[in-house]
Structures are given as structure tokens and as C-alpha cells.
Amino acid sequence: MQTITGLFSYRKFWAHRFGTAPFLPMSRKEMDDLGWDACDIILVTGDAYVDHASFGMAIIGRLLEAQGFRVGIISQPDWTSTDDFTRLGRPNLFFGITAGNMDSMINHYTADRRIRSNDAYTPDGLAGKRPDRAVIVYSQRCREAYKGLPIIIGSIEASLRRIAHYDYWSDKVRRSILLDSKADLLLYGNAERAVVEVAHRLARGEKTAELTDIRGTAFVYNDLPEGWEEIDSSEIDTTGAPAPQKNPYSEVTNCTPNRDQPLVEKQTSISRKKTTLDRSRTVIRLPSFESVKRDTTLYAHASRILHIETNPGNARALRQQHGQRFVWLNPPPIPLTTAEMDAVYDLPFQRVPHPAYQGKKIPAYEMIRFSIPIMRGCFGGCTFCSITEHEGRIIQNRSETSIIREIETIRDEVPGFTGIISDLGGPTANMYRLACKDPKIEAACRRLSCVYPGICKNMSTDHSALIKLYRRARSLPGVKKVLIASGLRYDLAVESPEYVKELVSHHVGGYLKIAPEHTEQGPLSKMMKPGIGSYDRFKQMFDRFSKACGKEQYLIPYFIAAHPGTTLEDMLNLALWLKKNSFRLDQVQAFLPSPMATASAMYHSGHNPLHRIRHNSEKVVIPKGLKMRRLHKAFLRYHDANNWPLLRDALKEMGRSDLIGNGKRHLVPSWQPPGTGGKPEGRRQGSKATPRIRTSRPFQQKTRSSTSSGKKRKH
């Protein structure tokens, strides 16, 4: 990895003399009270401003403040005019634009494209306080308000739309959000390093056009810099016999392609290089926006290349043509060190919403105010999840001391604390301090997952640091219980029986949510999730240790309907498994194709980007259409009488009428109660009802976007 400047090693900007603001100002009056004549940087966000490290605008704002800059926040502005965008005046350096902790389209719409009735990141949960495609709209209003001012975009919404991407809501491929927003610079992933460097360099008088060497950024750059080499993406992932006379970046020929050949298009001037190239001075040219929009096979190929080039230890720059312009992506940011993570989370957060909300409840805050993030990143690589695309595969850890210090701060300072820490976790509960055993191997690795199809032999599964943290946390005076609510990778947990015992004995509040996602190998192989056997092993441990400590505790499994690669037979087998194990799910989810996720590329293209792409490569079964998606969900709720008519019709068409009847071996009864989804039929033959398990989901969503309820799901 390249030499980097420490996050807190820059010389502070002159305005640091103003000191620390109690809250980052949201009004001119607050600026006046602080003695400010102007803000250096203004952050515009689609979320309510909560001064807490689980909210992106608070982390970035407090971090920039620690660098000496005066930072203001415009939260959930009225986007129908520029009035709200001028409330703090013109910033000296730039506007930072974010949609918030959630993608605005996922925030607004369910997996069935229905409008949601609430917004967890808004006071009192009110919906409609941010526009669709908020980053684009906010950028337009900022530009109208102050022409010529640099616009820097970031957040999950910008991060996952940094290249041409499939947009589920319009059902088409859209170009990079960098072009649609007309921003000067896009910061993707965890943006601390990039935003600090951008701020200091702009403060020194550099122009945004000069900021082309910062990792984790994307910008429009048409030229190939001197000393750089460009290679086309088909050379990275050769899909057939070489065809050096052709290149995948110009107009597709009208000829019918040879289905056994690589993805090829008309020849351009790019030549093949037989010599070994300097990776730090090499850029990979992806198929153009126009090409991937027209050809779903090229789209799947581009998605595969982007995901292969995500390891900060070996990733190369990418660029993609959009018309006459090129979007250039620098390699991903270097992960924060433990010392840097500690310093970020030690910033002076008030840990409560801004006083302007006058005590209104912000559901997302209520969910996380007594929880503590202990790490970032995920090396699971689940294809439906966007955590890896945003936060990366390398785990970034806080120190035990920093975590304990935050628990003590919550205990002593946060209103309403009753002695219960609601979560110690992150994207995954039990990846804390897990890493590749050899840093050199880690830096060279190009695998998409460290745990699929099995746990890599180079991946440490030692949970001892996490066990030590749990024991120390629950022993603190004033702490009654420490719960673990983050998603658990049970395939990792079973490698450490001591960890499972510790978790089950002390940190489960009656129910533990885990996510096998499915029982059948077809969809699981497209998700890159372990087989149901890993769930069975974990359940045996869970039940054994629960019994040993004298507690009645239950596992709550999550499942996904309509995921790419899922057939009706798969859903039927899952429904039969649920009935056999006496599960009745109140809430179910249908797959929602979030931008840039590998499973979304499957959904759009019908190809499997987990393998090399050919025109005749593996075709993936895609459950599309409202009727089919509803049928998949109906199998998950086989016990709901409203679903019985739909399921009876499907079972008959599948030749499984043997599963219709009134016995225990049947999936749905032949009778229909009045007032439900069909005409009453026959008499009910009673049988003892299986117990209903009510599932609930946390509100906070950093990256994953597969729920139909809008609430976060992890692993």
C-alpha cells in the first residue's frame, strides 16, 4: 500500500481558534453565537441531524471540525427552492452533499416499489422529508444558490452509483451520479481520509480539477495522464480465446457475435501489453455507459471487474466512458488504523439529536442511542448486500479501551440509560479483530469473499479478543446487560464454541436474529451464503448452551424471497422446512436490487458475475414481475390464509397437489375461511397451530437494501 498521511497529522486550519461547537450550527443565530462570520464547509443531508457517531453527517462534520474548519449543517432542506440552501450563507470552501445514512430510493420505496409510510431518520418518523435521488436534487439547488462553488458528493447513495449502474426503480441503467449531479468530486466508501485531504488542499488554494490523486474519489477526467498505461477490462477477466484485433469499448458491431468468443466490440487504439505493468500507474477501461446500457452481458462483465478491483492493497484505477467524457475512479481508500478509528469515535459527539427538534422522536436514533459500533467492514461478500462495496472487505477495529470508554460515557451522560447496552457490533457482530493471517496475502488477494464457499485457510477465526471485550464490558459498574443485536456470521461463530457459549450465556435477550437466507443450494450459491448445515450446527450449539445456563432462548431466522437463482421449487422446499421447524414468520422480505450489488447485476443481466462472463455463460433464474415476487413471499408466509388461494394454484401448476389438504403433512389446507383471500371451501379440519414467531428489524441501514420494510438487515 502507498504511504499515506495520518488522519490527524495535518496542520489545523486557522479557524480552529474558534474552538468546538456544542452542536454543529444549523442556523445563522448559532453561527453568530459562535462568533462565526461564515462556514468553511456546509454539509447538506437528507437525515435529521443527530450528533452521534452512527450518523454520517455527524462523523464527517466533527472530523472536519477537529481539523480546524467551521462546519455547518443543512438538514432535510425544502428542495423546492434555494431558500433553505442559503440559510447559513455561502461556505468558503465547498458544499458536501449526502442523501443520509440510507439511499433515498430505498428510503422511499419498498421492494414492490410502493411508497413507504415512514422515515426512520426523520423527527416523528414522518415520510417525504427528502426527495427522490436526493444527492442529485441537493446538488442542483446548491449550484443554483451559489454558482461556481465546489460541490463534493458522498454517502451510500453516491458511493453505490459511482459508475453506470442498474436502477431498479426506473428499470434501466443510469449513468454515474457524478454526471447527473454535475458535482466536482465524488467520495466513495468510508470517506474520512478523502474528505480531510480535500478540505486541506482546497484551503491551500488548489482547485477541484487538481484533486486527481486522492484514493476513494471519482471525477471526470478525459485524458490519460503521462506515465500511465491503460488496459481494457477483457484482459483482466479473459472470457475466451484472445481477440487482440477487437476491444470492448466502442460501438457494438451489428454482426451476430460468436457466442464462444470473449465479449468484444469494435477495435480502438488500445494495444495489449506483454510486459508487467505498474499497478499504481495502470487504469482499467470498463465498457462504456452506452455499451452496458445496451448489452446486459457487458453490464455483468463490468460489474464483475469493479468487484474484483476492490482490495485497497492491489486495486487499480478504473475509468468508464460516458458519451464524450470519462468517469475516473481512483482505488479504494486505505482502511483506518485502530488508533485513527479510536480518534474518530472519541470526537466530542453530544450523542443526542440537535435541540432544534425539541424532543421529537427520531426512530433511528432511538434504536442506536445505547449501541456502540466496534468495527467496520465485512469480508462475507454476500451478493445482495452493499456493505462490502461501501465499507470494504478489510475489518477496521476500534481498541477495547476506546469501546469501554464509550460505554462509560453512555452510562454517565446519555439521558434515559437504564443499564442495558443494546448492541456491541457493526455490519457483523463477530468479525471484530478477524483478519487474514498474512498481510502480504491479504494485500494480494482478489477473492470476493473470505468465507465462501468455505472459510479461507488464511482467515483467522480466533474470537478471543471479542470474548475478552464482552467480559470486560458486562463487568463495568452500572452496566446490567450487554446485548448483541448486530448480524451474526454463524459459520464463523461455530469455529469458536467458547464464543458461542459466551454469547448465549450472557448476551442474548431471549431471541437471537440470524440470517440463513435460504435452505436451498441454488439461491445460496448466488448469495454466496453457507449451506443450511452451518445453521444446524449453530442451532445445536445455541440450544445446548442455552439449556446449560438454564435459559429459554430462541433463534429468529431471516429469509429472502425472489432472490436471483431462486426457483418456485426452492421456495416450496423452504416453506416445507419452515413448517417442519414450526416457524411462522410475521415479516418477510423480497430481494431489492440495490445499485452496484452483485445480485443486482444478476437480476438485470441474467448472468452470474461470480464467474467469467460469456454470451453463452450460465444463465441465472430471475424471479421478476409483481405476481411472481408475491408468490415467492407467499411461500414464506404459508400459514397466512390470505396466501392460500395463490399457493394452491401454484402447487397445482407445479404438480404438487399432494401438499394441499388438512393434515400435518400438507402445506396449505383445502378449505378457505371467510373474509380471506379466496372463496370459502369445504370444512376446516383442525390441527394444532404452530407457534408464531414475531420478527422485528432494526431501523438503521448503512448499506444493505434487501428488506421490504425499509429496516436494516445484516447477514
- SS3 string of 335-371? CCCHHHHHHHHCCCCCCCECHHHCCCCCHHHHHHCCE
SS3 of 248, please?
A: coil
Q: How high is the mean pLDDT of the chain?
A: 90
Q: Distance between CA atoms of 363 and 373, rounded to whole angstroms?
A: 18
Joined together, the cell numbers standing for residue 264 give 468484444
Average pLDDT over residues 351-380: 96
Residue 318: all three cell numbers together: 478504473
Q: What is the dihedral of CA 708, 709, 713, 715, to 10 degrees?
A: -30
The answer to whether residue 252 scores a pLDDT higher than 90 is: no
Torsion over CA: 248, 292, 152, 393 (sign): negative
Cα–Cα distance measured from residue 217 to residue 226, given in angstroms and rounded to the nearest whole number: 20
**Structure confidence at residue 238 (pLDDT):** 58
Percent of the chain with pLDDT over 70: 89
- Label residue 66 by pLDDT band (50, 70, 90): very high
Distance CA 116, CA 107 (A): 8
Residue 526 near residue 608, CB atoms below 8 Å: yes
In the predicted model, is pLDDT for residue 275 greater than 90? no
Rg of the chain over Cα atoms, rounded to whole angstroms, equals 26
SS3 state at 533? helix
H/E element holding 493?
helix 490-493
Query: Phi, psi at residue 104, to the nearest 5°?
Result: -65, -30
pLDDT in tens, 415-429: 999 999 999 999 999
Cell 462490502 -> residue: 388
Nearest to 472 by CA among 570, 376, 402, 367: 402
Select, from the ranges 182-186, 225-229, 678-682, the one with the highest average predicted confidence (pLDDT): 182-186
CA gap 268, 219 in Å, rounded = 23
The C-alpha torsion from 589 through 610 and 528 to 288, rounded to 10°, is: -40
| pLDDT tens per residue, range 471-499 | 999 999 999 999 999 999 999 999 999 99
Compute, in degrees rounded to 10, the torsion defined by CA atoms 265, 267, 268, 269: 140
**pLDDT single digits (tens) 458-467:** 999 999 999 9
| Cα 314 to Cα 446: distance, rounded to the nearest angstrom | 8
What pTM, to 2 d.p., does this model score?
0.90
pLDDT over threshold 60, residue 134? yes
Q: Which domains does the chain have, with CATH numbers?
A: 14-219 (3.40.50.280), 223-323 (no CATH), 370-639 (3.80.30.20)
Look up residue 212 and give its three cell numbers: 486527481
Strand-strand pairing, 317-322 and 325-329: antiparallel
pLDDT for the residue 681: 52
Q: So what's the pLDDT on residue 255? A: 37
What is the spatial distance between Cα 196 and Cα 201, in angstroms, rounded to a whole number? 9
Cβ distance 307 to 448 under 8 Å?
yes
Mean pLDDT in residue range 491-514: 96
In whole angstroms, how far apart are CA 579 and each of 159, 210, 585, 603?
A: 40, 61, 10, 29
Instruction: Dump pLDDT digits (tens) for 302-323.
Output: 999 999 999 999 999 999 999 9
Q: Which of 181, 209, 213 is nearest to 197 (CA)?
A: 213
The yes-or-no verdict on residue 658 having pLDDT over 60 is yes
Q: How many whole angstroms separate alpha carbon 654 and alpha carbon 648? A: 10
17, pLDDT greater than 60: yes
Give me the mean pLDDT over the 28-39 stretch: 98
Check if the beta carbon of residue 192 is closer than 8 Å to that of residue 65: no
pLDDT for res 694 = 38
State which amino acid sits at residue 660: I
Report yes or no: 163 and 286 within 8 Å, Cβ to Cβ.
yes
pLDDT band at 541 (very low <50, low <70, confident <90, very high): very high
What angle do helix axes 626-636 and 568-580 make, rounded to 10 degrees?
Answer: 20
Indicate the pLDDT class of residue 224, thresholds 50, 70 and 90: very high
In whole angstroms, give the CA distance from residue 587 to residue 692. 11
Q: At what angle do helices 296-308 and 598-605 cross, to 10 degrees?
A: 170
Q: Report residue 588's pLDDT band, with 50, 70 and 90 as the boundaries.
A: confident
Backbone CA torsion sign across 604, 609, 612, 616: negative
What confidence tens digit (pLDDT) does each residue in 610-644 have?
999 887 778 999 999 999 999 999 999 999 999 99
Smallest CA-to-CA distance from 93 within 199, 175, 249, 231 is with 199
